[in-house]
Amino acid sequence: MRRIPVIQLGVGNVGQSLIEQVAASRVRHADLFDLRLDHVALVDSDGAIVNPKGFSDDSLSNIAQAKAGGSQLNELSNGHVQCDPAAIVDVAGADEAIVIDVTASQETIPALLESLGRGYRVVTANKLPLTESYALFQTLTSSRQLRFETTVGAGLPVLSTLQSLVDVDDRVQRIQGSLSGTLGFICSQLDAGKRFSEAVREAEHRGYTEPDPREDLAGSDVARKALIMARMLDNPAEFEDVEVQSLYPREMDDLTINEFLAEVDALDEEYDELANEARASGKRLRYISEVVDGHCRVCLAAVDPDNRLAHLQGSDSMVVFETGHYRDNPLVISGPGAGPTVTAAGVLRDIVGLAL
């Protein structure tokens, strides 16, 4: 059986789900592909745990449970302090390995570069390395030994579809999407007549937002997704080139999280007016991303009822591709665009695709 060492950076919610899915797929991978994905190292923000011979599924499950319970890897009996993810790449001890980045950190960039330089393959769900400088994006993606499907749309096949269009020279004229489950939920609440503050607090209560809801409301996460798609079209854009509309005034950045949640009511009147205007004209509010002729923008917009984005509900995501071949009837991808389970499933598809 072909054994591929796996080094996993990040053991948060997505990383824990990935561990479970790898173990659940053991028999199928063996039967179909004569393949075993063998975790040899796990790394979090403070430490690492390493076994060059590979962890058993029971050991991986215990580690994932410890992380879910709030433990750090360096606190486990066989864990240790590790502040240099790039150094962990050495533990594979093989000619081939797959390095997985399921963090949300820029600190993994040296490890990704080191891995690709060794000829290892890399799968990342982390948008930050791909939205640093365009030069770094080119370095990371030039060999096609890196897959990053889940950076846009979680488990939805957004980027693989875009790459297939590029590969056959089907000119992509416009990409429009709703790519934040959090902001999609808030917009659906506004459509239903809820006040902005109610929608934000409900999203926070349900766990849809980041710990600080302003990270979602600022639009930066959606902007990074738009930038990745633009760069895949050979647009040498930088993050600063993306036109971004924040859903709160930036002077509220100085508030604590609790202060912000207490004072977000101050924005209700503005969003009541926007929602009422949209409703009166038969439109729906959506936080959209758009890539047209190399220009990227993300903003709150009132979309016409015949716009496919108008029919989105809750936290689902959608991307609409208008191309030379899909001009009159655009190509649409829609479904759950967030959540640790679907994101981990997308990461696993990327891993298997690189392994075969």
pLDDT in tens, 128-166: 999 999 999 999 999 889 999 999 998 899 999 999 999
Give tens-digit pLDDT for 258-298.
Answer: 999 999 999 999 999 999 999 999 999 999 999 998 799 99
Residue 92 has pLDDT above 70, yes or no: no
Of 67, 127, 194, 225, the active-site residue reads: 225
Stated as kind and residue range, the H or E segment containing 138 is: helix 134-141
Q: Looking at the chain, which residues constitute the CATH 3.40.50.720 domain(s)?
A: 2-154+341-355
Cβ contact 120:96 at 8 Å: yes
- Mean pLDDT in residue range 91-99: 82
Cβ contact 333:354 at 8 Å: no
Residue 93 has pLDDT above 80, yes or no: no
Nearest by Cα to 188 from 307, 279, 257: 279
Determine whether 194 is an active site residue: no
Q: Poorest-confidence range of 43-47, 268-272, 295-299, 347-351?
A: 43-47
Assigned token pair, 168: 């056959």
Q: Poorest-confidence range of 49-53, 87-91, 320-324?
A: 87-91
Q: Which residues share a beta bridge with 347? A: none
Q: How far apart, in whole angstroms, are the C-alpha atoms of residue 117 and residue 242?
A: 30
Q: Does domain 2-154+341-355 have CATH number 1.10.1200.10?
A: no
Q: Looking at the chain, which residues constitute the CATH 3.30.360.10 domain(s)?
A: 166-337
Residue 62 has pLDDT above 90, yes or no: yes
Q: How far apart, in whole angstroms, are the C-alpha atoms of residue 50 and residue 7?
A: 9
Fold of 166-337: Dihydrodipicolinate Reductase; domain 2 (3.30.360)
Task: Identify the pLDDT of residue 6.
Answer: 96
Stated as kind and residue range, the H or E segment containing 320 is: strand 316-323
Q: How far apart, in whole angstroms, are the C-alpha atoms of residue 125 and residue 147?
A: 9
